[in-house]
Amino acid sequence: MARSAEVIRQWEILRSIDRARHGIGIAKLAAERGVHPRTDAAPYVREREWHHTQTIEDRDDGGIVVTLHVCNDHALRSWILGFGASARVMTPSALADAIFENATATRRRYLPSARGHARMLAIKAS
């Protein structure tokens, strides 16, 4: 997916988060530097406004902490999961647990013993 299409997709996710007024809370997300050789989420997160309530704190290791006042819903979890191992939910624990459970379920889908057995959307890249 082109970077501009990804930005638009993530902006739309966060707009839907903003429209959801129930269950508003604070989510803290750490965007890491150098988790993978070609992954550096901190500058990517820093260079745009994801939500009008966001604050960004610098960390000593070059990463950042993003705080958002949003609801814990599918759109937020999808946005966070899109950063893969480059992001970690710091608070609330319920959100961190949901991300962990989703990442664990995703990992299980890619185990050799599970390939071809699960009923899911199959994607083939050429």
Evaluate whether residue 24 is within a structural domain: yes
Domain span at residue 18 reads 3-109
**pLDDT value at 80 more than 70:** yes
Evaluate whether residue 28 is within a structural domain: yes
What is the pTM for the complete model shown? 0.64
Rg (CA), the chain: 16
Q: Which residue would you say has higher pLDDT here, 39 or 116? A: 116
Instruction: Express as a percent the part of the chain with pLDDT over 90.
Output: 9
In the prediction, which pLDDT does 57 show? 85
Evaluate whether residue 61 is within a structural domain: yes
Evaluate whether residue 119 is within a structural domain: no
**pLDDT value at 65 more than 80:** yes
Evaluate whether residue 94 is within a structural domain: yes
- If one counts the domains in the chain, the total is 1
Helix 93-109 to helix 74-81 angle (10° resolution) is 60
Q: What are phi and psi of 121, to 5 degrees?
A: -70, 125
